Structure 1
Amino acid sequence: MKSVIRTTAGGPEVLQLVERPVPRPGPGEVQVRMHVSGVNPTDWRSRRRALPPGMTEQVPHQDGAGVIEAVGPRVDPARVGKRVWIWEAAWERPWGTAQQYTLVPDRHAVDLPDHASFELGASLGIPALTAHRTLTVHDGGPGRLAPGALRGTTVLVAGGAGAVGNAAIQLARWAGARVITTVSGPAKGVLAAAAGAHHVVNYRSHDAAAEILASAPGGVDIIAEVSPGANSALDIAVAARGAVVAYYGGGEDERLSIPVLSSMAANLRWQSVYVYTVPPAAKQQALTDVAAAVHEGALGVGEEAGMPLHHFTLEHAAAAHAALEQGATGKVLLDIP
């Protein structure tokens, strides 16, 4: 089979296309014939770091979608033939999704309904699970998402044209929230509106705080924040009393400086979100809720859902990484032959 691997840290050029035997599933594992592999910012960032201890090579990418073709011991044989989406395939493991067949623990392959495309399946994983966590850490709020769970809640999504921002908008709308989002330009504003945001604010051409508060006079309850260092002043200005700023992003050298008294007066909580180490019970709830949203048709990809798709072949994995690293707007995918 064809696999993309890396044996060292570096730029996109360290990704190699090689031939290797098709792996057989061990106890508790499933073998998935990959159709689409999703590329996330964490994939190119981890590519620049050394391999995990004990590994001499690694297949990249956490997310993907395909069909289960074999199962190992202690896995229900009825899963063979199931369409699935995969999450965290390569987290502390050598097998990612950038290959024709991959192995993952059974619970890392979630059933994908027939009406959902493999492109959607490969776009869930890290973005959707991260978005779910940002929406469920509000004090007094629900620990799960479902229709009506966020009714009466106002959510601000920073960077609504990004992958996590797009998922946060769609999940928040599905759960009944009022959604405001910030973007850096008109084209991204069109995408955020397509995702379902009620109000889109171009922070480069408007007074973002004034416009957000005009739409939400009492302030916002949940802020899904991609750049806390740059946006902390704005977040404090628009946060309602008891709000949470759930931040999941930031540059390598970004620093977060928080005015203590302002945050205290509002009982404002700053909550980091790193999807890989989210508590197991919360992770399982996210999987359950995201699967339900997919089943109900509440999550989509493509231009019409505010998430343009950029397709690359497996042979051009390096170009896919370069495109994402250089700021491609939308979802970067590898089509697996």
Structure 2
Amino acid sequence: MRAVVYRETGPSSVLQVVERDLPEPGPGEVRVRVVRAGVNPTDWKFRAGMMSGYAEVTPGHDGAGVVDAVGDGVSGFAVGDRVWLVLAQHGRAHGTAAEHTVQPAANVVPLPEGVDFDLGASIGVPAVTAHRALTASEFGPARLGPGALDGRVVLVAGGAGAVGNAAVQLARWAGATVVATVSSDEKGALAVAAGAHHTVNYTVGDPADAIRTFAPDGVDIAVEVAPAQNVDLDLDVVKVHGLVSIYANNGGDQMTMPLRAAFGKNLRFQFVILYTLDPGLLRAAVDDVGAAVADGALRVGDAAGLPLHHYPLEETAAAHDAVEGGVVGKVLIDVTD
């Protein structure tokens, strides 16, 4: 089989397409013929130097394809099943940028009938992260579904990004009023296509005033991508007993905040990363994301505010470069037919 590998960390030029033996699933494992692989920022960051310890790595946490072998002790999957994958390279050397990948059955999720592989390869890290960001408050629901966020106002920072797009769609599915911040009118149009009720261009005027135009009592949840830059805004617009869910460090690695403002509102700051997430929370997120997909509440493509950018397996390096360069939309690798 063809696989993309790197044997040392560094720029995208360390990626190579090689031929490898077809892997066999062991007990509790499933082999998937990968049709599409998704590329996330973690993929290029791991490749650039955040991850070591393996002689050879195949990148890729997200993907979708068809089950073509099942190991002993696996129930619920059969050859021919269409599936999507989550955290496929976490704690493992080989992820989804290959024609086949062997995964623990817990990383393999049924893809509902009629849902294409583009969507299946796009929902892993972004949608599961967005789910956790929306459910991390002890004052809010632990699960998402229609009606779970009725009456709530959710602020999504960076509503045109992949996680932001998923957060907008999931929050709207759950019944929230969604306000998204963006840096341009073009990105505002993408956030509206995703389902945002209102958008705020944070480069024009005072974003806090603009947010309060749509949420005069403040917001219940802020899904935050740039805490170092936005902490004062979050402290201003989030309600008493509100939640600030931080899933990235865009714009700076150090966050400084006035403590009294957070004390005064009894705010909760929840940091979100999937790799150390409690397995029960991860499973709840995967199940809810699957339900949203089945309901048609999660979509990709221009009409959903998430343009798709396809690359063949041989151009995985260019796909990594596109994500590292901040391309707007979702980058996918076309692995097999």
TM-score (norm. length: structure 2): 0.98
Task: Show the counterpart of 1:40.
Answer: 40
- Residue identity matched to 2:303: E
Give CA deviations for 1:198-239 in whole Å, capped at 9, x if unaligned: 000011123210010111011000000000001001111111
Give CA deviations for 1:244-273 in whole Å, capped at 9, x if unaligned: 110000148521111100010011111100
Distance in 2, Cα, partners of 1:47 & 1:144: 33
Residues 214 and 83 of structure 1, relative CA distance in 2, 3 Å threshold: same
SS of the counterpart of 2:275? helix
Give CA deviations for 1:150-192 in whole Å, capped at 9, x if unaligned: 0011100000000000000000000000100000001100100
Task: Show the counterpart of 1:147.
Answer: 146
Structure 2: runs of 5+ lacking an equivalent: none
- Residue identity matched to 1:9: T
Task: Show the counterpart of 1:93.
Answer: 92
Distance in 1, Cα, partners of 2:237 & 2:157: 12
Task: Show the counterpart of 2:9.
Answer: 9
SS of the counterpart of 2:49? coil
RMSD: 1.1
Give CA deviations for 1:41-78 in whole Å, capped at 9, x if unaligned: 0111111116432x100100100000000001101375
Q: Does the aligned pair in 1 maintain the 2:179–2:197 contact within 8 Å?
A: yes
Residues 174 and 20 of structure 1, relative CA distance in 2, 3 Å threshold: same
Distance in 2, Cα, partners of 1:29 & 1:231: 42
Residues 77 and 244 of structure 1, relative CA distance in 2, 3 Å threshold: closer
Paired residues for 1:1-337 under 5 Å: 1-49=1-49, 51-53=51-53, 55-76=54-75, 78-251=77-250, 253-337=252-336
- Residue identity matched to 1:39: V
Deviation of the 1:79 alpha carbon: 2.0
Deviation of the 1:308 alpha carbon: 0.2
Count of residue pairs the alignment pairs up = 336
- Residue identity matched to 1:129: V
SS of the counterpart of 1:69? strand
Distance in 2, Cα, partners of 1:213 & 1:155: 12
Large movers: runs of 4+ above 3 Å: none
- Residue identity matched to 1:330: G
Residues 89 and 215 of structure 1, relative CA distance in 2, 3 Å threshold: same
Deviation of the 1:304 alpha carbon: 0.4
SS of the counterpart of 1:48? helix
- Residue identity matched to 1:134: A
SS of the counterpart of 2:286? helix
Distance in 1, Cα, partners of 2:221 & 2:77: 41
Identity %: 51
- Residue identity matched to 1:189: G
- Residue identity matched to 1:97: T
SS of the counterpart of 1:123? coil
Q: Does the aligned pair in 2 maintain the 1:8–1:51 contact within 8 Å?
A: no
Q: Does the aligned pair in 1 maintain the 2:222–2:243 contact within 8 Å?
A: yes
